[in-house]
Structure 1
Amino acid sequence: MLQVNSITPWRPSMYAGSLPPKRLRTWREARARCNAEDFAKDPVEMTEFISCSRAEDSGDSVMAESHIPAIVLDIARKRRPFVGISGVTDTEIKRPISAVTCLEYINFNIRADKQNQFHLRAEMTEQDKEVIRAAGRNEDTLPAARVLRAKMQTERLYANVVQLTP
């Protein structure tokens, strides 16, 4: 299933020229659309979806852009904790807001979609299973296993699994 693994801030003034020309053009077009729709003060975000399911990093990716409404930023600035229900224990979970807990909460909601209404789930392949096994063995051979291991270090869901790995 789709999982969100990192958030990387990018501002044209900070990293001039760091985006490939096609992606920079996509961001500028999205920025222009928001400006034209009276959302010039609101941020435009770019999300890159990278395939990490193969044994080797293929570089396959898709970029999408979206407007972040001011009300969403206002909610985030209040820094109220995330509240959710554990799918395992049915107890309420409160976590302080941070980049890590934002990722965890996004992934929590994706995993909770048991009926696949978001269409983000797929059948696991043998390659997918080997990536999980490699991450559990602390192997550094598969790029996807490295990504999964890093994710396991930050998300609470994996806390007991991380303690079991040598």
Structure 2
Amino acid sequence: MSRGFNKVILMGNLARDPDVRYTPSKQKVARITVAVGRQWKSQSGEVQNQTDFISVVAWGNLADLCERYLRKGRPVLVEGRLSVRDFDDARTGQHRWVTEVVAQNLTLLPGGRREDDASFPAGPRGKEEDFGSLRDDDDFSGEFPLDISGLKDDDEVDLPF
């Protein structure tokens, strides 16, 4: 069988708090739903919006990360693979198919709801990382943006970082 390529990258907000459980073999698993919005113009020129709710499953350490830091509304970047599986539902007796993303990496993004962010990892200054502009940095006192368009190759420039 030839080797294929299965990679999924999602960026969106959590639609609800993570559902964390343990398998019978004591392995931690977290199920999250990532809401990913998209926008387009219809043929009539009207702006259309749609949100896709994508199921993601995270195992082990990633499940820990979900349990500790993710809450409804939190923006997240998920890298993983698409998984399609089937099973017989014991309650209804029906054969079911499930399509979900199996997370291989999770990145917590700044933003989202602020009122319950006490659990979000602190940055080097003891506050939530902003990753914003250098202009907002108290330690940055230089002119911004730095104009180097008139410099020659042998000119030296003192960069502010």
TM-score over 0.5 for the pair = no
> So what's the TM-score if we normalise by structure 1?
0.20
Higher helix share: 1
